[in-house]
Structure 1
Amino acid sequence: MEDRRARHPSGSRLNTWLLGLLPLCVIAVAVAGFAVLDGPGLTARNGPPAEELTVERTILGAGSIELIVRNQGADPVNLVQVAVNDAFTDFRISEPEIGRLGSAGVRITYPWVDGEAYEVTLLTSAGGVVTHVIPVAVTTPDPSGLIGLMALLGTYVGVIPVVIGMLWLPWLRRVPPAWIRALMALTIGLLAWLAIDAALEGMEVANAGASALGGAGLVAMGAVAAYLLLSGVHTWMAARPGQAGGYRLALLVSVGIGLHNLGEGLAIGSAYAVGALALGATLVVGFTIHNTTEGLAIVAPVSEERTSPRRLALLGLIAGGPAILGAWLGAATVQPAVAALLLGLGVGAIVQVILQIAPSARDHTGRLLHPLGIAGILAGMALMYATGLLT
């Protein structure tokens, strides 16, 4: 290192940076020349235009059907005809030509009947056909009128269950240490199921949107980003006084569960916005029972230390509050790509939290997969699966 510094004194650092920028300048000039010459060799094409439309949202109003479509193909798309149940009908489109990755609203005049199924066919100028099925037609609620309801539902399925689950803390403080290790293994099982659930839901949401925006890759990108960010938060907290021990783990668990509940709220809000979710008392009770186990996962790391009620309340709010935010975003029709990214954040955060909790579940020999640990992990996953059947 000293020899290199001797050969390249500080006075030559500017030249070093210029040498580093030289390839970038050459690339910029080449791209500019390519654009000026209109892409020589790429303008001639054989075959029909590459048209690919994806329907991202359906809005049903009185006597009208509106589709929000996105062009994920390489060429611009022009719609020329629209048919509903094989009958051509009048329509208006917000953009006469939809460019690559652009979106437009297609408003169709049609006297649809509540509860009936419809098949909408979009015909492009190049002869392409896009078919969209509406399984059950119901009026789309106004998102502005759902703010209060979404806050209430988010509280029901997020905040209240977590708080109920945290009431296990006094009991946890009275059980033997071996039970604590088993409960930490149970927590790992609970979180593992949440990560699997969020990943599968994220893939489903991503596949429903335009693949050109990233598709399932957005779930992976969100997972990696959340994992790295939470790792940084953990390192920062470990270096701060008073932020070590069980409370730090509990806080990380709350963040991971909170990101998962954000995705759960997204699903509830988006489904309710299109009239596809009937949230009756049975379903609310099912969500409550299912998410109560999350409260147990939060308080398990602090079972052996004193924690103030204010800190416990903060943990519960971090874990359950995002369900309200998610419900709001879902009701306001979050773009599928954004929803997939947010669900991916939950996956990465939970995986990072599992790695932080794992040492607490080890036995006196340092094994994580000891008989009691294996039983706890499997029991946690089975518990989440069983309570998930209620929702």
Structure 2
Amino acid sequence: MKGQDRSWVMVPMPVVFVHGVGNHGEEQQAGQAAKLRRQFFAEFLLPAIGADPGHGVVLMPWWGRAPALPRWGRVCRPGASEALGSGDRVSLVKELAAAEPPPTGRTDDVVLDTARESVADAVDLLYSAVDVDACTDEDLRQLATLAVPLASYCERHRRFDPTDPFWEDVADDPSLIRAFTATGRTPGPQVETLGGGGPPGRVGKLLRRTADELRKALVGPPVRLTAGGLRRLTDIPVHDYLADVFKYLAERGTPEQPGEIVGIVLDDLRKATADAPADEPLVVVAHSMGGNIVYDIASHFCPKLTIDMLVTVGSQVGLFAEFSAFQGVPGDLPVPGGRRKVPARENIRTWINIVDRGDILGYSAKPVFEGVEDYDYESGALWAHSAYFKQPNFHRRLARRVRGATA
């Protein structure tokens, strides 16, 4: 398959996604956010490696089912007695995301004003603000399907262009979303139809409601980005990160007797290589702590496992290596006047590391490791660590990188 034209060769092959911290509840592994992520992989990444989106396999080992349980129930957190439900968190994220007015200074059409500077930012703003937990499975399917032509349009058109016929009837957020979903538009040589020309259905209503909620956040009571507000937003994710790191390092085991978390991920990696044809690439996408687990497996627990393409996203592999947390990394590096980086691993054939500089839990890898390329991605999200896989333009760029590396 390698070297062939992947535009027509379609086979069932797996992609393995290894999640990050905080995925302790079954609703997080099988809930709407996970379903949308799987839909995005089907629409963008599977075709990039020549897999049939309808039959390609996305394996998602759930290592979070072995959680680190807080012995005192998180009471060490300031204000731990204050409950913050999922709905409250969605509202808080939207308020904080809208706290800085768009570049034009207007507040009545948040999405359109963002599109005047960057169409891609407008699309990603909409998708990042959607409350996926309130979506049906059909909503998620329509969102993922629409994301492909939207991301393609963003690649060709950077910003609002009044001379482009596509924007002819666009005057506010609702009309922009109608254009995005191609409501009542007829394809032609001068007009691009993104949503297929059919009725907008629930996805159009969903995106209009999301835009309206963003607008209300801007025109409502002033939002102050106080330390307390940011603490409320980041408290649980940072706490979960530290908890999962402590548990993993304490219980990861040995190559002869790997711990529970290593075993869960390794089982799916082995299953992926067993199910795929011998000449097909194994593509592993790992978010956050998932990247550390995968590198630990490849360098220490199972160095015979070959990963054709490793993509670490918002991960801390460089940080872990700096503090000697990997047993597969030589302990005498860097050598003064000699080797400065960790040698590239032969069993990781291609490795790219993606990080948003606004992600407080994301780190570069290239300054520490040989054989890896760092790529910046600007999500524009306040809490960037969880924004990557919600944004269509991230998936478009990821698919393009993977396609080039596995062709």
TM-score range, shorter chain: under 0.3
Instruction: Name the TM-score, length of structure 1 as normaliser.
Output: 0.23
Instruction: Name the TM-score, length of structure 2 as normaliser.
Output: 0.23
Structure with greater proportional helix content: 1
Structure with greater proportional strand content: 1
